[in-house]
Structure 1
Amino acid sequence: MRVLGFGDFIVRLSPPGYQRFFQAGHFDVNYTGAEANVCVALAHMGVETAFVTRLPENDIAYAGIGELRRHGVDTRGIVFGGERMGVFYLEKGAAQRPSRIVYDRRHSAVAESGPADYEWREILDGYGWFHITGITPALGSAMPEICVEACGTARELGLTVSCDLNYRRNLWMPEEAGSAMRKIMPYVDVLLANEEDAEKVLGIKAAGSDVMRGVLDDRGYAETARRIEAEYGIHTVAISMRRSLSASDNDWGAMLYRGGKAYFSKRYMIHLVDRVGGGDSFAAGLIYGLVNGFDPQHTIEYAAAASCLKQTMEMDFSLSTAAEVEKLVGGNATGRVER
């Protein structure tokens, strides 16, 4: 099955290593975007993927497109217009110092898109799966309308539609997010979220959990998924479960709700290299499992393992092959040198 992602594609600028912004004499450059990250991860797992966005016609955009192509992502559907790519700056945290992100993505080419920029019937032709996140409508202007049209057309054409709620408080307020995302929900087949997403966007809180105190309750997450199914008719819901011990060490796992039953992955203690993109690799792993017809338990184990591996890699792209993910699913978690 061919998978198409739609969303923003931006430049990430980071101080080297763990330097703070005011220490940096230069920045490391990376190209990224939630849906693009999913496409890259799936491409490394052997799935045929394509990515659609709107970019300016300049050398920075062409360099980013070249990076996507290098990882095996089809970029022929990208449309051109506007004057700039969005940028975000990331200061990586360590131990008790949290990571910090500063956005500079207003008036980017994709944020200033209009509905006429995308011929969705033509774009979606030949694909079986369409993926989007809540970051894309959060860019404002006509983007919420464009996202509704894209998801509605995908559903009409028979594609499976997946959506990662991906709430970003630096982009919009919960009221705005809820209003926009509820218009997309009728077209969604597979929903991904974490506890904050479900609460801030859909108004559904995971009972018994408090991520700030490191308390996670499995029953509360399962009930959250049941409520999403009851209110929105979405029968496949995946929720990531992160317990942040510090900016350097996280306890990681996930839940898949399908067919009225909740399935929980094993948990991983991750010493983080770069957690940005961890949720996108989780989405890619979930899509991979569902596309390949894995049973629900195998699907959520695969998705959690894929995300675990990504968080040990620099930058936003997950570069794991399916065989590497399956090795971790099978219990090979020692990290011993392979000779």
Structure 2
Amino acid sequence: MDTIVVPESRRWDCLSLGEVMLRLDPGEGRIHTTRRFDVWEGGGEYNVARGLRRCFGLKTAIATALADNATGRLVEDLILQGGVDSSLLRWVKYDGVGREVRNGLNFTERGFGMRAAAGCSDRGHTAMSQVKRGDFDWKAIFGERNGARWFHTGGIFAALSESTADVALEAMQVAWDTETPISFDLNYRESLWKSIGGKERAQEVNRELVRKVDVLLGNEEDFSAMLGVEIKGVTEDFGELPIASYEEMLREVAAAYPNLKVVASTLRTAHTATRNAWGAIALYNGEIAHVPQREIEIFDRVGGGDSFASGLVYGFLAGKGFEWAVKCGVAHGALAMTTPGDTSMASLAEVERAMKGGGARIAR
């Protein structure tokens, strides 16, 4: 796997591009009845950088934008606590009301038993949704500033507005030119894409972006909605598929985009909100690595896929090999879903223990 990893001399191990929102969590309650929220930071692309920093000890950064007000400064404070380099954060002047620019809010319920997790986003007109080509000096970032060993972005950022996909493509082109490996998480969000053209637009945008990608991540719904891949045996609610269908899906994607070195899919069967089967399957150089689904208990499922991505990327950057990287992603994702918030609270030692099948006996 070291064929796609660049030397360690670069400034950051991983640079992510995406929006960071303020997550408001009602804990065990409901959004519409609570009188108190816990506050976290989160965002699909950011969570990967955060996991690589806090769990795996790598140097990471986030390229993002925030409205310069108290909520923006709170998000910055949370980013700093997570250890992610915020030197590429763009501050946008706040108009005092939020008519022109604001910071994104994400109200999220964890769910329990038969009550599914649920989200209510409030993210229109955010600072990050308004970025355009030229707002980040990618040639300086990847060149003069000695860049990153890895670049990560995804479909959530690309769907924020008509301009954000162009920014993603601009960054990916420079990363490609500087031989920086690129990972991209499809992360389909119908609520975002429907305002800028729906699935048709999502497929048009993502088919172009994926041509600049080395490592592509998603699940069966992401591959279907974002790339138009037809998956045999799929049901309307994307229930559990035979493993052969997943393997065929990965091979079809790899054949359509020969630039891809790795195609990976998380596997999840949600029996209840608090009990899921969780695993992954990935393709590299024609070889399949499969971590079968295993029953796990869920405390907060948000960010599980992002933690899978950071564990996978860590395995590649650490030169551990393809199968190890997939197992690391699965273990890290499972552990991240045992704690509240979007981001991982796991340690590398806990991930390695989980990979070896370690149980939950108390450690003293």
Partner SS for 1:242: strand
Alignment deviations for residues 241-267 of structure 1 (CA, whole Å, 9 cap, x no partner): 001101111000001100101110143
**Equivalent in the alignment of 2:52:** 42
The equivalences for 1:1-339 within 5 A come to 1=8, 2-17=13-28, 19-44=29-54, 45-81=56-92, 83-125=101-143, 126=146, 127-172=148-193, 173-210=198-235, 212=237, 214-233=239-258, 234-332=260-358, 334-339=359-364
> 1:161–1:213: structure 2 CA closer, same or farther, 3 Å change rule?
closer
Alignment deviations for residues 212-265 of structure 1 (CA, whole Å, 9 cap, x no partner): 474221111111111111111113111000011011110000011001011101
Partner SS for 1:114: coil
Shift of 1:84: 1.3
Segments of 5+ residues of structure 2 without an aligned counterpart are 1-7, 94-100
Query: Is the 1:209–1:217 contact (alpha carbons within 8 Å) kept by the matching residues of 2?
Result: no
RMSD between superposed Cα atoms in Å: 1.4
Whole-angstrom CA distance in 1 between matches of 2:81 and 2:31: 30
Identity %: 33
Amino acid in the other structure paired with 1:300? V
Query: Is the 1:306–1:325 contact (alpha carbons within 8 Å) kept by the matching residues of 2?
Result: yes
Query: Is the 2:220–2:238 contact (alpha carbons within 8 Å) kept by the matching residues of 1?
Result: no
Whole-angstrom CA distance in 1 between matches of 2:267 and 2:27: 29
Partner SS for 1:61: helix
Shift of 1:176: 1.6
Shift of 1:211: 8.0
TM-score, normalised to structure 1, is 0.96
**Range moving further from structure 2, 184-193 or 121-130:** 121-130
Whole-angstrom CA distance in 2 between matches of 1:157 and 1:211: 42
Alignment deviations for residues 252-303 of structure 1 (CA, whole Å, 9 cap, x no partner): 0001100101110143311110000001000000100111122222111111
> 1:186–1:66: structure 2 CA closer, same or farther, 3 Å change rule?
same
Shift of 1:206: 3.2
Query: Is the 1:242–1:251 contact (alpha carbons within 8 Å) kept by the matching residues of 2?
Result: yes
Alignment deviations for residues 67-119 of structure 1 (CA, whole Å, 9 cap, x no partner): 22222211111111153111111122111111221111110001011213111
Query: Is the 2:27–2:110 contact (alpha carbons within 8 Å) kept by the matching residues of 1?
Result: no
Shift of 1:33: 0.9
Whole-angstrom CA distance in 2 between matches of 1:59 and 1:103: 19
Query: Is the 2:110–2:301 contact (alpha carbons within 8 Å) kept by the matching residues of 1?
Result: no
Partner SS for 2:183: strand
Query: Is the 2:275–2:295 contact (alpha carbons within 8 Å) kept by the matching residues of 1?
Result: yes
Shift of 1:12: 1.0
> 1:193–1:262: structure 2 CA closer, same or farther, 3 Å change rule?
same
Alignment deviations for residues 150-173 of structure 1 (CA, whole Å, 9 cap, x no partner): 111110111000000000011112
Whole-angstrom CA distance in 1 between matches of 2:246 and 2:255: 14
Amino acid in the other structure paired with 2:332? A
Whole-angstrom CA distance in 2 between matches of 1:295 and 1:92: 34
Whole-angstrom CA distance in 2 between matches of 1:97 and 1:84: 31
Shift of 1:209: 4.4
Amino acid in the other structure paired with 1:79? R
TM-score, normalised to structure 2, is 0.89
Whole-angstrom CA distance in 1 between matches of 2:356 and 2:48: 23
Whole-angstrom CA distance in 2 between matches of 1:38 and 1:12: 16
Segments of 5+ residues of structure 1 without an aligned counterpart are none
Partner SS for 1:93: coil
Whole-angstrom CA distance in 2 between matches of 1:59 and 1:22: 24
Query: Is the 2:214–2:261 contact (alpha carbons within 8 Å) kept by the matching residues of 1?
Result: yes
Whole-angstrom CA distance in 2 between matches of 1:159 and 1:186: 14
